Structure 1
Amino acid sequence: MTTNRTTDAVLRPASMDDVPQMEALIALSGVALSAGFYTPEQAQAVTALVFGVDTQLIEDGSYFIIERDGDALACGGWSKRATLFGADRTKTGPDRLLDPALEAGRIRAFFVAPSAARQGWGSMLMEHCQKEAAAAGFRTLELAATMPGVPLYLASGFEVIEPFEIALPGGVNVPLARMRKQIGGLGPCGSKPPYAAAQTMEP
């Protein structure tokens, strides 16, 4: 658990008891913070059909919540599993473990409450998740960014490696960006760490 003594905000591992509060935060954040990046139709569709909590990360101890006085300010995590994005409802099968020596870990499901936006909570989560993933042996991280999230990830040192879209019911296409960052040292002879492409694509 990490406490920001300036604000009395606490960053801690999320529990299953936190899921209702985090889902409510995600529903608000997904729509409100998409203004100017997505159309209202795109924001509503991706929030309702894709965004949400992946409880596997809670079970793995790699999903976190930042709260102050019992109110959730932000949530987000990292993952040692193949799924790149999406809530429980988007999964169709087992979520295999990644090989840290060959594959990139994931940054997953970062959301900030609209009332707490642009106050550094996303950066706080990112720093914590990168340290945790590095401690688990990962040398590269990947994520699938929504357009509102791209500025945070660029500021955190990620690079866009592939723009793509997901097609949602009702003829709604939502643009995303696959992004990557090296967090470990160089491999033998100064080579960069190898990675394998993800088996599952998600936002």
Structure 2
Amino acid sequence: MRFRTRWAVTADIPRIDTLMRLAIDRLQDAFLSPEQVVASRAFMGLDTQLVTDGTYLLAETETGELAGCGGWSFRATLYGGDHTAAQRDPALLDPATAPARIRAMYTHPGFARRGVGRLILETCERAAAERGFREAEMMATLSGEPLYRACGYQPVERSEAVADGVAVPLIRMRRPLGAS
């Protein structure tokens, strides 16, 4: 199946939110307990600044069905959505000294393992490199780690986010841009 990509606009946000909820609930269950999946909703989701900045990508089928989404950022925030204000930092990054941020990568469960995530990731990496970034980093979930490793990302730090007393494991990952 072929997918087309385009940068998201504000009118896409409801579709993005629906896909994210579905992906969080269905694609993490092989990696997290049911309590951890519920807790992850507290810090996962869309940071609409990515849409405003024009750095949030959609992958759609030829009929317009949303197969996946994800973005990159030139801002300091590493992860989190609009509802996680304490984690957000809109400061601009210097591409000469800081890595671009890969953010909010989600695939519709019906399109998992069909190249959607890789397509979005590679497109975002190219866009970040065109803006002068030499490296990219992300805060990955356990369900995303296999894809990111296959794309050349290496773990930098293991950590966790805690919501309602439930710890959810996360992995900070990084790779040079332009490397295969």
Shift of 1:16: 0.7
1:138–1:184: 8 Å Cα contact kept in structure 2? no
Shift of 1:52: 1.4
Please report the RMSD computed on the Cα atoms of aligned residues, expressed in angstroms.
1.3
Look up the SS of the partner of 2:144 in the other structure.
Answer: helix
How many residues align? The count is 177
Residue 77 (1) aligns with residue 43 (2): no
Map residues 118-157 of structure 1 onto 2, 5 A cutoff: 118-157=113-152
Map residues 2-21 of structure 1 onto 2, 5 A cutoff: 7=2, 9-21=3-15
Residue segments in structure 2 that go unaligned for 5+ positions in a row: none
Compute the TM-score of the two structures, normalised by the length of structure 2: 0.94
1:78–1:105: 8 Å Cα contact kept in structure 2? yes
Map residues 1-203 of structure 1 onto 2, 5 A cutoff: 7=2, 9-47=3-41, 49-68=42-61, 69-92=63-86, 95-169=90-164, 171-183=165-177
Larger Rg over CA atoms = 1
Shift of 1:75: 0.3
Please list every run of at least 4 consecutive aligned residues from structure 1 whose deviation after the TM superposition is greater than 4 angstroms.
none
Q: Check 1:148–1:61 CA distance in 2 against 1; reply closer, same or farther (3 A cut).
A: same
Residue segments in structure 1 that go unaligned for 5+ positions in a row: 1-5, 186-203
Residue in 2 aligned with 1:194? none
Q: Check 1:135–1:147 CA distance in 2 against 1; reply closer, same or farther (3 A cut).
A: same
Paired residue type of 1:79:
S
Look up the SS of the partner of 1:83 in the other structure.
Answer: coil
